[in-house]
Amino acid sequence: MMKFLSLLVPVILCIVVVYEVSRSLAHADHDERQRLIRGKAFTAAFYAVTGLDALIILLYSMGITIMSAEVLAALHLYLGVIVSAVYCAVKDAYFSPSDFKSPYRYPLVLGIIGILNLIGGIIQAKAGGIIENGMLTNRCFGLLIGLSFCFLAVVFLVRAIKIKNEPEEDEQ
Amino acid sequence: MKNLKLKAARAAKDMSQQELAELAGVSRQTINAIEKGDYNPTIKLCIAICRALDRTLDEIFWEE
């Protein structure tokens, strides 16, 4: 029964994510200002990932290895996504005009995914093996994904509240 | 530089930023950014805004 449930949860999550992503793509009608900002967000994400690379190379040259190759690859991915998404969210370029009608959808979905991963990550952390030989192992993925998604959910929630409540003429 | 002509034309039509944004097919934040002078719209968007407000490009976007 537990095995069935443990399989069911990711399947349901995948269906929800695919549905949300396809719905977002179908309504991805960002205006010209938003597209411009999204381009800058990709640039910012690229520089952030390059900066992380520089830091890791520096540490490696000093003989310090703090994470496994898998964790490093995942960290690159999450850092790029976070920088890009936060940059867009702060500049009102993440939600397309049609999304502004229901901006709470994004923080809700991200928050649920984040909390579920965080719970899994904490369970794995308690079981041990997150740090081996002074290096983060791939057992920290749950925590990493959970923290990333929860952070994004909080940023999006703040923006959604601001979008809903800000007076029209005095924005920003 | 703030685009006060746009703001005045919108107010003359008793239109909110949201209503103008929907007519022009952009977000309210974009209309807000144009009015505040934070964003220079493309000619395509300028025309869409002028059509929504029944004004000419000169009337809204030309600076004397």
User: What residues form DSSP beta bridges with A131?
Assistant: A136
What's the rounded mean pLDDT across residues A68-89? 91
Q: How many domains does chain A have?
A: 1
- Helices vs. strands in chain B: H and E counts, helices first: 5, 0
For residues A53 and A122, the answer to whether their CB atoms sit within 8 Å is no
Q: What is the pLDDT of residues A134-163, one digit of tens each?
A: 888 888 888 889 999 999 999 999 988 887
d(CA A29, CA B30): 13
3-state secondary structure of A136: strand
| Contact predicate B64/B1, CB 8 Å | no
Percent above pLDDT 90 for chain A = 37
Sort out which chain B residues have CB atoms less than 8 A from A168's CB and list them: 16-18, 28, 32
Tens digits of residue pLDDT in B4-23: 899 999 999 999 998 999 99
Q: What is the pLDDT of residues A1-10, one digit of tens each?
A: 666 767 777 7
DSSP A131: E
Q: What whole-number distance in Å separates Cα of residue A159 and Cα of residue A155?
A: 6
**From the CA atom positions of chain A, what is the Rg in Å?**
18
Confidence class for position A22, pLDDT limits 50, 70, 90: confident
Tell me, yes or no, whether A16 lies in a domain. Answer: no
B7 in Cβ contact with B50 (< 8 Å): no
Residues of B with CB under 8 A from a CB of A: 16-18, 21-22, 25-30, 32-33, 36, 39, 41-42, 44-45
Which structural domain range is residue A148 located in? Answer: 33-164
Distance from CA of B4 to the nearest CA of A (A): 12
Please name each of the domains of chain B with its CATH number.
4-59 (1.10.260.40)
Q: Is residue A15 part of a domain?
A: no
Has residue A133 been placed in a domain? yes
For the cut 60, the answer to whether the pLDDT of residue A170 exceeds it is no
pLDDT exceeds 90 at position A103:
no
